[in-house]
């Protein structure tokens, strides 16, 4: 096993300001950026603030920007960098910093509350749900989301435009709308809720111009743009401008077989 | 007097994993104003790491399954030490808890006829685990999280405030349960972000903080698993039960070092993966213990046929309960038949087509590819045991989840003891969280409702003491009294590493009397030094400070594990003694209870010999006759003492 000393620049500070601090730190075979941050914490800066949990890419806590790119620190291996490269770690830019690498991600929790929840079908009790795998595949893809909020961070609609945050839910929560819309048993329609329409009218789908930045940073490889946002846009457009679709939407959906 | 933020709630739930969230949903639905406190962000709790599935005898894949079979499997897995009433309730109620998740929006993998699919797992007689690929824990936590949001949306419509009846205090740590006499009166804690102290006054507190794995070096557990709830209960005067039983999951990653311990799901074996040693041999056939001889295949051919025709063949021994598999791997490595990095080989690549592997085990594929440069569709994984789960925990009443001896205190999930006996079956954890999370929330709400006019008041002195305790790391004592060198304060990270090393080496998967005695000495030394754990900086999001406070809990819990393990002179489930290698029927009905030696809840931090924990033995309640009747007599004689059988 071979070790070497790497050069790190880590942003330190709080809401009042801060800057990059230099560290020289040991790196061993197979390590990831989060290991190095932990080593800095254990040996040089015990109060260095960082969020993390599972260290296996499953919880989405250790999001940060590594050399400017939004990534999970636990899934970024040191071997992707050359040994003489200086590695810069900064907090997520789209959210207000609390301290060091920890940001206030409250925006996302607020947006989560604005999406109406799953509506259970009135005529089915627990244990009576029947759904086919091919019908749940798409929503399951979206439910792989670990809520790391890298897509929310990278999306240019809010990244440099704080003012858009009120009107725009961000890719993660537009995808949540798509997920519920594609759920085979969601009964939102029966309550008068048109999820497709709300994507456009209440969650700011129109701001998205499909640059796919969100899909690129997704550590779960979810095709956010292609499978969630574009279909949602197409259907929102259909609904808005196509009189036949509009008419169809006024007639109750045919019940599926079985 | 300390100035701290104070709020009133009916029920406070500490922990926001599966058990905590399920408890909170139940308490709120039963009308209690409920607060949830969690150390991480909402939705990040350790439950997200659960991979394989939720065990529930729905009988969707094999209609022979029912709660009795599930109960039997659970008791066998726990080697009959389980608190049998819990195992009964669990097996009975798990299907309802899974179906309920569907009505909250969960999307499980499906059978061909559109029902919830169920997969095979170690120790379960039939395919029983409801799952979503190998990310079932994520689905569980997200569904509960979204259910909480939907309740908050309801409250918003009615009151204009999302948090009027159900609020999540995220990134907060509770350091003390407050009491009025023997009754719970609230909790004291701090916000991790700001370092500010707060008190939530509440007559009922549900502890749902998970496990203790961070006291061990090689573990699948996250940083949160510092035994907080176990310690909070001890300090509040509630005993812990059977803390010697710690589950080492047989398959953790072993390479590279930085990911050592990360879990490799049991689904790999449930779906057909096999274990081989460096000679290419499927060694598990050599490790089938007598109690399981009739239930497992004796040849590779039979084991392989079982996947297609389970009615006429017996299951392969790779699917023995986890304790058996972990010990077998340990023995193979020790005998010099291990893999290059000190594990054994787990292979699916020769057992299933690549696309099936990627579909059924997506996160395993991803995890090995990203972290170890191993393509599991083309080569074998290297795996070895990793500290995964503690069967021991807060002693609770089976039906109500009430902690013994402290009115108003409840516990559910991993932090509660009893349900799993000496060893937990895979898949029984997620169902445990749901079944007993719900029961804890229900009974906490009911208890709180019964105290509307006579709520126990919060004692100001206790708040001051708790605040002083939490602030000590900032003014860490320099030299110990009487010491002549001016030793600097101890680094909490170093203390933590020494603790993990000691527990791993001395109270690990195979235990010996002398080593456990050394562990207790080491723990006493660390306890003295932990009093001098000091930190720099200020209270705002300061991980060094947080760790210093967590050390108290890890040291308390580690002492419980070491003392109980030293006391139990037999091997059973997650407790293996090299010097007492056999299971002893005389121990079958013995519970070991750990209580704080100083009943006032103070910590006599420096006495190395007696330590802080006192052990007592108790004889368990006999298993109810109709439940015993579910087993064949020939099987019972292997577990129960003579006199138990004749009753």
Q: Indicate the pLDDT class of residue B534, thresholds 50, 70 and 90.
A: confident
The answer to whether B2 contacts chain A (CB < 8 Å) is: no
Comparison of pLDDT for A20 and A253, the residue scoring more: A20
Chain A CB contacts of B259 under 8 Å are 30, 32, 55-56
Nearest by CB: A49 against B115, B371, B541: B541
Model confidence pLDDT, tens digit, residues A160-202: 899 999 999 999 999 999 999 999 999 999 999 999 999 999 9
Nearest by CB: B541 against A99, A129, A139: A99
Q: Which fold has domain B5-53+129-247+389-460?
A: FAD/NAD(P)-binding domain (3.50.50)
Nearest alpha-carbon partner for A137 in A258, A222, A212: A222
Whether residue A54 and residue B540 make contact (CB cut-off 8 A), yes or no, is no
**Closest-CA residue in chain A for B341?**
A1
Model confidence pLDDT, tens digit, residues B325-364: 999 999 999 999 999 999 999 999 999 999 999 988 988 9
| Secondary structure element (H or E) that encloses residue B13, with its range | strand B11-14
Q: Indicate the pLDDT class of residue A257, thresholds 50, 70 and 90.
A: very low
Delimiting residues of CATH 1.20.58.100 domain(s) in chain B: 491-619
Q: Which pLDDT does position A90 carry in this prediction? A: 98
B269 assigned to active site? yes
Q: Which pLDDT does position A245 carry in this prediction? A: 52
- For residue A125, what are its two tokens? 């009790």
Q: Indicate the pLDDT class of residue B647, thresholds 50, 70 and 90.
A: low
Catalytic residue among B30, B192, B249, B439: B249
Nearest by CB: A136 against B107, B137, B494: B107
Chain B CB contacts of A55 under 8 Å are 222, 259, 262
Model confidence pLDDT, tens digit, residues B596-616: 998 776 665 556 567 899 999
Distance between B33 CA and the closest CA of chain A, angstroms: 19
Chain A interface test: which of B96, B103, B107 (most A C-beta within 10 Å): B107
Model confidence pLDDT, tens digit, residues B39-76: 999 999 999 999 899 999 999 999 999 999 999 999 99
Delimiting residues of CATH 3.50.50.60 domain(s) in chain B: 5-53+129-247+389-460
Chain A CB contacts of B538 under 8 Å are 47
Beta bridge partners of B416: B394
Rounded to whole angstroms, the Cα distance separating B137 from B463 reads 36
The answer to whether B257 contacts chain A (CB < 8 Å) is: yes
Chain B residues 371-390 with a CB less than 8 Å from chain A? 371-372
Delimiting residues of CATH 3.10.20.30 domain(s) in chain A: 4-102
Distance between A24 CA and the closest CA of chain B, angstroms: 19
Task: Give the right CATH number for A106-250 from 1.10.1060.10, 1.10.10.10, 1.10.490.10, 2.60.40.10.
Answer: 1.10.1060.10
Helix, strand, or coil (residue B353): coil
The stretch B77-90 carries a mean pLDDT of 97
Q: Which pLDDT does position B489 carry in this prediction? A: 85
Q: How many helices (H) and strands (E) does chain A have?
A: 10, 7
Rounded to whole angstroms, the Cα distance separating B634 from B644 reads 14
The stretch B201-221 carries a mean pLDDT of 96
Nearest 10 degrees: CA dihedral of B282, B285, B289, B295? 120
**Closest-CA residue in chain A for B373?**
A30
Q: Indicate the pLDDT class of residue B481, thresholds 50, 70 and 90.
A: very low
**Residues making up chain A, counted from first to last:** 258
Q: Which pLDDT does position B606 carry in this prediction? A: 53
Distance between A16 CA and the closest CA of chain B, angstroms: 13
Model confidence pLDDT, tens digit, residues B148-197: 999 999 999 999 999 999 999 999 999 999 999 999 999 999 999 899 99
Distance between A208 CA and the closest CA of chain B, angstroms: 25
| Secondary structure element (H or E) that encloses residue B169, with its range | strand B166-170
The stretch B86-97 carries a mean pLDDT of 98
Whether residue A31 and residue B255 make contact (CB cut-off 8 A), yes or no, is no
Delimiting residues of CATH 3.90.700.10 domain(s) in chain B: 260-385
Rounded to whole angstroms, the Cα distance separating A115 from B413 reads 30
Q: Which pLDDT does position A32 carry in this prediction? A: 94
Distance between A42 CA and the closest CA of chain B, angstroms: 6
Rounded to whole angstroms, the Cα distance separating A5 from A142 reads 40
Delimiting residues of CATH 1.10.1060.10 domain(s) in chain A: 106-250
Chain A CB contacts of B251 under 8 Å are none
The DSSP letter of residue A225 is I
Contacts of residue B154, Cβ cutoff 8 Å, sequence gap at least 6: none
Q: Which pLDDT does position B319 carry in this prediction? A: 93
Chain B interface test: which of A16, A26, A37, A129 (most B C-beta within 10 Å): A129
Nearest by CB: B256 against A30, A129, A139: A30
**Closest-CA residue in chain A for B147?**
A117
Chain B CB contacts of A132 under 8 Å are 110, 114
The stretch A94-109 carries a mean pLDDT of 96
Rounded to whole angstroms, the Cα distance separating B373 from A32 reads 13
Comparison of pLDDT for B427 and A250, the residue scoring more: B427
Q: Which pLDDT does position A240 carry in this prediction? A: 58
CB pairs under 8 A between A and B: 173
Whether residue A30 and residue B255 make contact (CB cut-off 8 A), yes or no, is yes
Q: What is the mean pLDDT of chain A?
A: 92
Rounded to whole angstroms, the Cα distance separating A206 from B176 reads 49
Helix extents (H) in B201-299: 228-235, 267-270
The answer to whether B476 contacts chain A (CB < 8 Å) is: no
Q: What is the mean pLDDT of chain B?
A: 93
Q: Indicate the pLDDT class of residue B484, thresholds 50, 70 and 90.
A: very low
Whether residue B132 and residue A129 make contact (CB cut-off 8 A), yes or no, is no
Chain B CB contacts of A118 under 8 Å are 104-105, 146, 150
Whether residue B540 and residue A98 make contact (CB cut-off 8 A), yes or no, is yes
Domain B491-619 architecture: Up-down Bundle (1.20)
| Secondary structure element (H or E) that encloses residue B205, with its range | strand B204-207
Q: Scanning the structure block, which residue is given the tokens 């409801």?
A: B130
Chain B CB contacts of A43 under 8 Å are 493
Contacts of residue B514, Cβ cutoff 8 Å, sequence gap at least 6: none
Q: Indicate the pLDDT class of residue B642, thresholds 50, 70 and 90.
A: confident
Distance between A78 CA and the closest CA of chain B, angstroms: 10
Q: Are strands A69-72 and B590-596 parallel, antiparallel or unpaired?
A: unpaired
Q: Which pLDDT does position B644 carry in this prediction? A: 79
Nearest by CB: B258 against A35, A113, A130: A35
Nearest 10 degrees: CA dihedral of B298, B302, B308, B310? -50
Q: What percent of chain A has pLDDT over 70?
A: 91
Nearest alpha-carbon partner for B618 in B417, B434, B376: B417
The answer to whether B525 contacts chain A (CB < 8 Å) is: no
Rounded to whole angstroms, the Cα distance separating A99 from A50 reads 8
B424 assigned to active site? no
Chain B residues 533-552 with a CB less than 8 Å from chain A? 535-538, 540-545
Q: What percent of chain B has pLDDT over 70?
A: 96
Whether residue A56 and residue B103 make contact (CB cut-off 8 A), yes or no, is no
- Does the domain at residues A4-102 carry the CATH identifier 3.10.20.30? yes
User: How large is the ipTM?
Assistant: 0.92
**Closest-CA residue in chain B for A14?**
B540
Beta bridge partners of B184: B179
Whether residue A31 and residue B256 make contact (CB cut-off 8 A), yes or no, is yes
Chain B residues 328-357 with a CB less than 8 Å from chain A? none
Supply the angle between the helices B543-567 and B513-530 in degrees, to the nearest 10: 150
Chain A interface test: which of B38, B48, B263 (most A C-beta within 10 Å): B48
CA B616 to each of CA A227, B240, B619: distance values in angstroms, whole numbers, following the listed order? 59, 10, 10
Contacts of residue A57, Cβ cutoff 8 Å, sequence gap at least 6: A72, A74, A75, A146, A219, B363, B366, B367, B370
Whether residue A131 and residue B114 make contact (CB cut-off 8 A), yes or no, is yes
Chain B CB contacts of A186 under 8 Å are 105
Whether residue A113 and residue B162 make contact (CB cut-off 8 A), yes or no, is yes
The answer to whether B225 contacts chain A (CB < 8 Å) is: no
Long-range contacts of B292-296 (CB under 8 A, 24+ apart): B292/B76, B292/B320, B292/B324, B296/B320
Whether residue B132 and residue A143 make contact (CB cut-off 8 A), yes or no, is yes
Q: What percent of chain B has pLDDT over 90?
A: 85
Q: Which pLDDT does position B598 carry in this prediction? A: 83
Chain B interface test: which of A33, A39, A127, A134 (most B C-beta within 10 Å): A127
Buried b (16+ CB within 10 A) or exposed e, B481-498: eeeeeeeebbbbbebbee
The stretch A135-149 carries a mean pLDDT of 97
Q: Are strands B409-411 and B204-207 parallel, antiparallel or unpaired?
A: parallel
Q: Which pLDDT does position B452 carry in this prediction? A: 77
Rounded to whole angstroms, the Cα distance separating B500 from B497 reads 5
Q: Which pLDDT does position A1 carry in this prediction? A: 55
Catalytic residue among B70, B269, B527, B552: B269
Question: φ, ψ for residue B480 (rounded to 5)?
Answer: -65, 155
Rounded to whole angstroms, the Cα distance separating B572 from B147 reads 39
Least confident of A147-151, A225-229, B230-234, B367-371: B367-371
Chain B CB contacts of A147 under 8 Å are 43-44
Class of domain B260-385: alpha beta
CB B639 within 8 A of CB B588: yes
The stretch A218-227 carries a mean pLDDT of 97
The stretch B265-285 carries a mean pLDDT of 94
Nearest alpha-carbon partner for B26 in B15, B34, B16: B34
């Amino acid at each position: 096993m071979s070790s070497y000393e790497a050069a790190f620049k880590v942003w330190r500070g709080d809401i009042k300001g801060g800057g990059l601090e230099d560290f020289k730190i040991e790196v061993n075979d197979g390590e990831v950026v989060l290991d190095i941050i932990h080593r800095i914490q254990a040996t040089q800066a015990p109060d260095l603030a960082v969020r993390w949990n599972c260290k296996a890419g499953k919880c989405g806590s250790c999001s940060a920007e590594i050399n400017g790119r939004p990534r999970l620190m636990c899934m970024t291996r040191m071997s992707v960098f050359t040994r003489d490269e200086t590695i810069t770690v900064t907090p997520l830019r789209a959210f207000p910093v609390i301290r060091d690498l920890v940001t206030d991600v409250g925006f996302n929790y607020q947006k989560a509350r604005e999406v109406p929840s799953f509506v259970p079908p009135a005529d089915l009790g627990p244990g009576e749900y029947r759904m086919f795998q091919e019908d749940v595949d798409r929503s399951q893809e979206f439910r792989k989301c670990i809520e790391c909020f890298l897509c929310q961070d990278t999306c240019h609609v809010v990244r440099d435009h704080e003012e858009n945050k009120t009107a725009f839910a961000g890719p993660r929560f537009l995808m949540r709308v798509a997920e519920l819309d594609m759920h085979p048993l969601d009964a939102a329609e029966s309550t008068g809720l048109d999820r497709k329409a709300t994507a456009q009218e209440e969650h700011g789908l129109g701001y998205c111009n499909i640059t796919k930045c969100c899909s690129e940073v997704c550590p779960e490889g979810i095709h956010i743009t292609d499978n969630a946002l574009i279909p949602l846009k197409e259907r929102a457009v259909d609904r808005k401008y196509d009189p036949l679709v509009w008419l169809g939407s006024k007639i109750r959906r045919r019940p599926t077989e079985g | 007097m300390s100035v701290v933020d104070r709020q009133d709630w009916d029920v406070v739930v500490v922990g926001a994993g599966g058990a905590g969230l399920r408890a909170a949903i139940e308490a709120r639905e039963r009308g209690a104003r409920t607060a949830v406190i969690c150390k991480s962000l909402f939705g990040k709790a350790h439950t997200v790491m659960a991979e394989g599935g939720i065990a529930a005898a729905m009988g969707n894949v094999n209609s022979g399954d029912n709660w009795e079979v599930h109960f039997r499997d659970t008791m066998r897995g726990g080697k009959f030490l389980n608190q049998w009433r819990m195992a009964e309730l669990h097996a009975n109620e798990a299907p309802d808890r899974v179906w309920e998740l569907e009505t909250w929006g969960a999307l499980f993998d499906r059978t061909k006829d559109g029902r919830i699919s169920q997969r095979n797992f170690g120790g379960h007689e039939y395919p029983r685990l409801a799952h979503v690929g190998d990310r079932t824990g994520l689905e569980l936590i997200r569904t509960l999280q979204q259910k909480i949001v939907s309740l908050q949306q309801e409250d918003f419509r009615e009151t204009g405030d999302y948090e009027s009846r159900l609020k999540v205090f995220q990134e907060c740590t509770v350091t003390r349960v407050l009491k009025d006499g023997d009754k719970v009166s609230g909790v004291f804690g701090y916000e991790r972000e700001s370092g500010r102290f707060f008190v939530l006054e509440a007559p009922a507190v549900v502890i749902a903080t998970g496990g203790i794995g961070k006291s061990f070096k090689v573990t699948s557990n996250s940083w949160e698993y510092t035994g907080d709830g176990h310690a909070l209960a001890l300090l509040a005067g509630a005993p812990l039960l059977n803390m010697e039983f710690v589950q080492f999951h047989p398959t953790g990653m072993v390479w590279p070092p930085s990911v050592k311990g990360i879990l490799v799901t049991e689904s790999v074996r449930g779906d057909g993966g096999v274990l081989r040693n460096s000679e290419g041999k499927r060694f598990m056939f050599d490790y089938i213990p007598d109690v399981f001889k009739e239930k497992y295949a004796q040849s590779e051919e039979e084991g392989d046929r079982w996947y297609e025709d389970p009615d006429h063949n017996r299951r392969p021994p790779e699917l023995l309960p986890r304790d058996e598999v972990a010990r077998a791997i340990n023995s193979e490595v020790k005998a010099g038949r291990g893999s290059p990095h000190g594990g054994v080989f787990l292979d699916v690549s020769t057992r299933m087509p690549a696309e099936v592997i990627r579909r059924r085990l997506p996160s395993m594929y991803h995890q090995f590819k990203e972290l170890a440069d191993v393509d599991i569709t083309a080569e074998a994984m290297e795996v070895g045991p990793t500290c995964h789960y503690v069967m021991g925990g807060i002693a609770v009443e089976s039906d109500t989840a009430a902690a013994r001896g402290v009115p108003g205190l409840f516990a559910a999930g991993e932090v509660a003891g009893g349900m799993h006996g000496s060893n937990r079956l895979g898949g029984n954890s997620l169902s445990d969280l749901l079944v007993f999370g719900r029961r804890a929330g229900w009974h906490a709400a009911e208890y709180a409702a019964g105290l509307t006019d006579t709520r126990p008041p919060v004692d100001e002195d206790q708040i001051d003491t708790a605040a002083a305790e939490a602030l000590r790391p900032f003014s860490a004592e320099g030299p110990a009294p009487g010491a002549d060198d001016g030793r600097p304060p101890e680094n909490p990270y170093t203390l933590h590493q020494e603790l993990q090393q000691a527990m791993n080496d001395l109270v690990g998967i195979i235990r010996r009397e002398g080593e456990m005695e050394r562990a207790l000495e080491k723990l006493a030394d660390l306890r003295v030094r932990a009093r001098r754990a000091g930190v720099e900086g200020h209270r705002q999001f300061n991980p060094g400070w947080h760790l210093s406070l967590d050390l108290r809990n890890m040291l308390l819990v580690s002492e419980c594990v070491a003392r109980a393990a030293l006391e139990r002179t037999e091997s059973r489930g997650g407790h293996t003694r090299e010097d007492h290698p056999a299971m002893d029927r005389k121990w079958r009905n013995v519970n070991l209870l750990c209580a704080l030696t100083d009943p006032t809840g103070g910590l006599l931090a420096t006495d190395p010999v007696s330590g802080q924990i006192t052990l007592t033995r108790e004889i368990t309640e006999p298993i109810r006759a109709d439940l015993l009747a579910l087993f064949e007599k020939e099987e019972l004689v292997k577990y129960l003492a003579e006199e138990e059988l004749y009753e």
